[in-house]
Structure 1
Amino acid sequence: MKRKVQIRQHIFNGIATAFILLFCYAATSKIIDFENFQVQLAQSPMLSAFSDELSFAVPISEFLIVILFMIRRYKFTAMFLSFTIMIMFTAYIYMILNYSPYVPCSCGGVLEKLGWKEHMIFNIAFILMAVVAIIIYPQEKLIGTNTITDYEN
């Protein structure tokens, strides 16, 4: 039984690490090229009205999720927020691809090399990883019985 919990712990922590790397990279690239990020948001047919607010909110949210992953008691919350933000990003891409008359530039950094469809597949892969992590997270921790503490490390 303990071995099974350890395997789940490693899977959860591996997925958490992938999200930490993704969000650190994404937020940092947005901040480094902040003006370009703001311009790209302003060019978006769906987000232009909120581009000023979003240009700050998105990287701050990404860094906040990373910080939550670093705090033991908030790891599950961080994973749930990761799932939620990836759903939102993916829904945005879907709407841009299917309902927008204009498709703006993609993300900055390495992810800029991906087309919108490839970016959507990338996002779906991260959504599926988050679902796996949420499912394997021990339910005992969620209801507070503290019978499994291996995920605390």
Structure 2
Amino acid sequence: MSEPELSRPVDVRQAEGKAMSIVASEAERVALSERFGLVRIDRLEAEIELHRKDRRVTASGTLSADFVQSCAVSAEDLPVSIDEDLLFRFVPPHSGYEPEEEIEIDAEDCDEIEYEGTHFDVGEAVAQSLALAIDPFATGPEADETRRKAGISDEASSGPFAALAALKKPD
């Protein structure tokens, strides 16, 4: 397994009450933009607070980023800014459930990230959170014109009822 682009390892034994400010360097932003298929990442920052209970560590905070991605239709550059709340938990492997066991999840639950040994990586968790915040189908102002030029019509004329509409006789 290759080294994460944004690595910030934390020793679980020193996690209680730890506050972290993560600011991705230019090299980290370049590597992450390649990993996630972005044009570029101009800014990636996170403020995280850790709280430990036994070997489980809950991380909460915020993620802020400015990046440029390509429009899903026209490939034009789209500037995007995000501000997301973060909440995840680092847990040792096999933490109380069997792989085949059905698990109920509600709004109070958070993502659990397994770690082995005495360290977990908050930076990689932040990178994964960024990946989840990216809209893979984002479109820009040129998308409609690009569709029109390509002969792709809007949903009303090409949707599931388009064939029925074509059969309708004019009055």
Structure number with greater CO (CA < 8 Å, separation at least 6) is 1
**In proportion to residue count, which structure has more helix?**
1
Structure with the largest fraction of strand: 2
Assess same fold via TM > 0.5: no
> If the TM-score is normalised by the length of the shorter chain, which range does it land in?
under 0.3
User: TM-score by structure 2 length?
Assistant: 0.19
TM-score (norm 1): 0.21
